Structure formats: structure tokens, C-alpha cells
Chain A
Amino acid sequence: MRPFLYSRADGLDHAVQLAREGARPIAGGTNLLDLMKLQIEAPERLVDINRLPLGGIEPDGEGVRIGALVSNSACAADERIRRDYPVLSRAILAGATFQLRNKATTAGNLCQRTRCYYFYNIDTPCNKRRPGSGCSAIGGFNRIHAILGTSDACIATYPGDMAVALAALNAQVEITTAQGRKRHVPVRGFHRLPGDTPEKDNVLEPGDMITAVALPPPAGGRQIYRKVRERSSYAFALVSIAAVVRMEGGKIAAASLAFGGLAHKPWHDPRIDELLAGAMPSDALADKAADLLLEGAQGYGDNDFKIPLARRALKAVLREATGDAA
């Protein structure tokens, strides 16, 4: 690990001031410290924000506001989240381990970086780690890589589960800017596609800090998080789907689906939700939804299997969400 200056923020203003001066916020540290050990990240200054009062889950109108420092464990176990937003509990519990979730925070989880093998191997070119050096995954081993929204510069995926559920729930990220102002960004627009600047994972600007995630009023319906992975626990998603589907009289009244493991961001295609709303569930309908999802899909060799896998997973989730058995 490269040397760094460590300071502890004693309030949000202090943290924002240090962040404005270039300090990197650290909370759980489970991803950042891992990357610092490998010298993929080498911040010169860390600001420990663990003592800030951002660790609560509070009612927010008819919704819920989850503080940036709420641990993944606490969020998944919270009674309101379990009852009113079960897809979020399920998604969080699908990721990592109890040890990691006890430390990992809501904001940190959103900001976790890709697990692309080449991003992690400092001996190989990677545009995300060293802009302009090239992408080793294109033409290399790319089993875990993206099939949607890729660019010639990067085919890495966003690896998380929590954000996929937050995208399905249409949650908002509350950001405190370097100037101390608040702004809100929908989770669906928080992460970005790689384009020519894959080093930027999300829309945070220098000095920005996430202070909370706001959930809208409970959507009800059936909520499912389906994760397909290489082993049954403690593995990143090859394909994952968060689904919130409300039925009325045998028809789909409303649906909101988001997908993990397919792109540089949790993937949400509003056309799928629109197609499903008001429709009678059927195999043909699910195929149409998959057609929309996979319209621009491109495999890179080892990850070609994700295209049929995503279709099958989507059809299985819709069957479960709209059928009587689930």
C-alpha cells in the first residue's frame, strides 16, 4: 500500500472540506483497501467518514431514506426494508458475505469498482485503470464481461447486486457536493456507460459525497431478485434480475425490471416496463421483453453465453412474478 495521510471527519462540513481538497472518503473500506493493497487505487489522503451521523434508516414522506453509512447487513435486516422493499433485502443478501456486508456501506456499495480481471492485474493494459493503455478484455478472457452498452475502450461490468434492486425500485442517490449543496440523481442514472472515459464509473464529481439513498413509497407486488452465478454463494453475478411486478385481475398492472452483470451499469430499459404494463403474461410476451433487452447485445467470445442466459433468466423471473406458484 502506498503511504497516505489519514484524517477523521468530525462532521459533514469537515468531510466535504477534506473531500474538496482531494481526500478520498473511506467508510467500510472493503473495496477501497483491497484496491489500495494492489496499488490500483493510491489516494494520497483518506478521510474517515465513519463517525458522521449518516447511519440511520428513516421514514421519508411515504418512502424511506437510507443513510450513506448504513451497513449492508443493517439495511438487509431492517424490518421496513424486508417488508416493503424485499427485492432490496434479497439483492443485498445475494452479494458478498456476512463479514463483508457488516462493514460495507450503502454509499460504498454503489461506488464499488468492477471486478474485471484486467482492471485488477496492474501488469496488463486497462483503460479504466490507466486511461489510454487499451482494453485487455476485448480479445482476452471475458467470461464475466458486458454484453450491453460496451465501447471499444471497455467491456467491464458494474459488479454489484444492491444497485440493481435500487434501479428496479427507482431509488434516488442524495449527493452533497463539494460546495455543500444537495443534489439528487436517480440510481438509474448514477452509473454510466464506459464510452471513451471508462475510468469514470459514475456521475460523481470531484469532492461529491453520497449522503443517502432515498426509496420511493413501497411499490408492492411480487419482488424477486434472481442471481445466476458460478457458485451458489459468495460470487458475482453473471446475470441478475431485480423485478417488481404488480398483478391485477390476471394482467400485469405495473412492472419494473433491472439487470445486473450485463453492462457497465445496472441496466434498466423503460421499454420493457412499458411493454409489460397492462399485458397478459405469456411466454411470447416474455420473449418480446427479452428481444427489447437484448436488441443491441454483443458477445465478446467467452461471454457469448450471457445472451441466451439473460433471455432464459428473464423468462423464468417473469413466470415466477406473474404465475400462481410463486
Chain B
Amino acid sequence: MAGARLVTDDAPRGVVQAVGTGVGRVVISLVVPVVAFLVLWAGFLFLRDAQAPKIVVVVVAIVWGVGGTGLLYIVSNWLVEKLPGTWRGRVLPFVFVGPALAILTFYLLVPAILTIYNSFRDATGGKFVGLDNYAYAFTNPDMLTAIRNNVLWLVLGTVFSTGLGLAIAVLADRSKLDRLVKTLIFLPMAISFVGAAIIWRFVFSFQPEGQPQIGLLNGVLSSFGIAPQSWLTVEPWNTLFIIVILVWGQAGFAMVILSAALKGVPDEMLEAGRIDGATEWQIFRRIILPTVWPTVVTVATTIAILTLKIFDIVQTMTGGNFGTNVIATLQYKQMFTFFDYGRGSALAVILLIAVTPVMWYNLRQFRSRGM
């Protein structure tokens, strides 16, 4: 990665010592950052106005972005090392942590404060409107549907992903085919929600009765002589069918993590249970489940956060039509279709408030696992 490029900071120092004098130092201290800046600026202009073939632009963009970041650290470190000893010690830590803090401030901290502030203002961010946007959020029928759907996502998505993941992990461990099965079930994790939505739109594809059915589900129905169903347009069932996609994608995640936890169940305990004549189900209920329970909770909360913020799947499957909206798709609509920044901000704040307790709990779990 960029590591190899960074190991060049000795060379310029040699040059500085050769120049020796204080004046030389000052001149070079000025020249180096200016040159670095000019190089980056030229790269920016090239990328902005590029007429070159796409592949050239892409390569330049990658080199410029990655190299530029490295260069900024090299130059700022080099400058700080020119400072007298005590100042060097004071400034250097901020060369290391400064860029991260600056980016986090600009991209998360300040926007969070601005969004909270804007959620109490009107569509253009001008007039103070008190709690109107929140009142809207909890009375508007579309929003109420979206909140109901998010609850469905939260409960069903989380329970089924985690439950199936656990079931598959337990079963696969007793099968000789565990590697293959686990790979196949984990694979959807690599596929984007947009890609997954396309896969499943095709499964749910519907043609009027009498025409050839090309969707798998309606194909199966028509082979039994049952009339084809329009799966994605009937509220509230359509939301359940869309949740299937999340379960398809996340059960593999749950399976892999729970499978690692199952390896931690002591064999002696299982043996002892079997000698005492416990059935496999009793062993699962009384020995396995209590041992892996903390991991089950961690997996469930992780998926719960995902369901609260779910956006891509719904946007690709139905665009939020037919009563399938969730909070995140309505928020997107308020921002980019209605340009109502006040309501959009209020919805974002509602998401933040919904996610925070789960996330906080998750972080505590994560720390106690010592990762």
C-alpha cells in the first residue's frame, strides 16, 4: 500500500544539512510545501477538466488521491521536524491525529449539530418552526407506514437472520459438507443490496395470467396450476417479501460469527449432557444456547442497526411505492425530491435517536469481547 512510498523521509533531510544555513532552511521549508501543493493542484485541475481516455483519468485519480494523502503527511512531518525540540514535541502529535480529527469534525460532528438545528427550521432552513417537523413525522400517514415497516424490518429481519444463521451454524457443524454449505450461504454477503434486489426482483417477477412466467416463484405456482401473484404490490405483504432479501444476505453473516462462537462450547459439557441421556434439543436449549447467547445478542444488535437504516433494498425493489417506504427512503425523498431540509433533517435525527441505544450497547459488547 502507501507504506512503501512513505519510507523516503531521510533523503530531503540530507539535502537540508548540505544547505546548512538558516536561510537555506527557511527557503526549503517554504519551497517544499509550495511544490507539493502545486503538484496536487495540477492533479486536481487535470481531473476536473480531463479529456483523456477514461482509464487514464481513473489511474491518475487513484494515484493522486492515494499519493496526495501520503504526501500531505510526509510534508507536514518534515516541516514539524524543522521546528526546535520543545515545539516539535508539542506539534507532532497533531500531525498524526489532526487530519483524522479535522475530517471527523467536518463530516460527522458539525453536520450532526447542523442537522439537529435544521430539524427545528422550515423547508429552506430559514424560519424556526419548533417541533412542527417532528409532529409531521409522527402524524403523516406515509411516515406512519414507514415507521410500521421499519418495525417489521427490525423485528422480522433481525429475528429471522439471526435465527436462521444460528440454525445453519449448528446444523452445518454436524454435516460433512460444512465448508461448501457455509461458503454458499455466506456468499450473498459480498453482493451489494442493489445487486441482491435485482436478483430477487427477478425471483418475484410477475406477468399477467396466461403469459409465460419468468420469475421463479410464479413459475413454481403456475406449475401447480395456481394463478400468478404480484408479490411486490400488495401491502403489507410486499414488505415481508422484501425483508426476505435482507435475511438472504445477513443469515450468512450471523452463521459465520455464531459458528465461531459454537467452537467455544466445551466438548466435555456436550459429552456430559449426552451421557446423562439428554436429547439433542435439550443439549441445544440447556448447554449450547446459554453459552453462545452473548454472541447471538451481538449479531442481533448489529443486524438491528442495519434494519433501522435500511435504504438500498427498498429503493431498488419498489422505490418505496406500494406502501413499502421506510424512514431512510422517506428521508431521501424529503431531501432530493421535495427539497424540504427541515423534514429531511428531522427524519435523520429520528434515525440517530433510534440507532444510538443499540449502537451504544453494541460498542460495550465489542469492548468486553476485547476486539
Q: Do these two chains interact?
A: no
Q: Please list the residues of chain A having a beta carbon within 8 angstroms of any beta carbon in chain B.
A: none
